[in-house]
Amino acid sequence: MSDHEHEPGHGHAAVAEQHADPGNGLRFEKEELHFFEADDRGAGQHIGLLLAFIFCILLVLMTAVTLWTNKHKSIGHDPQAIPGSSETTGHH
């Protein structure tokens, strides 16, 4: 082994400096915070648009199924149905 392998290199000194003051490397610059806030706001707007789009699609699908179900009612011939109901009289 050479002497160079046992010497602490530049990386060891940088790690030692960070351990000496843990708050030093954890702070963000103001410019980084502004970029983060802008990206966060944009992501929130996109998520809101996605949820609104999904809501509209589900509303249209549920309305279509409700209308189709009401239009295609069948007349049941259940002998245990409530007397006078639309199932036994044949009225819609």
**pLDDT at res. 73:** 83
Integer Cα distance of 81 and 32 in angstroms: 70
**11, pLDDT greater than 80:** no
**pLDDT tens digits along 33-73:** 999 999 999 999 999 999 999 999 999 999 999 999 998 88
Q: Is 60 inside a domain boundary?
A: yes
Q: Is 45 inside a domain boundary?
A: yes
Which residue type, as a one-letter code, is found at position 92?
H
Number of domains in the chain: 1
Cβ atoms of 80 and 86 closer than 8 Å: no
Which residue type, as a one-letter code, is found at position 14?
A
Q: Is 39 inside a domain boundary?
A: yes
**pLDDT tens digits along 17-39:** 555 555 666 888 999 999 999 99
**pLDDT at res. 88:** 47
pLDDT greater at residue 86 or residue 77? 77
Token pair of 15 as six digits: 């790690």
Token pair of 28 as six digits: 């963000």
Can you give the residue range of the structural domain that contains 56? 27-69
When pLDDT is cut at 50, 70 and 90, the band that residue 78 belongs to is: confident
Q: Is 84 inside a domain boundary?
A: no
Integer Cα distance of 89 and 76 in angstroms: 10
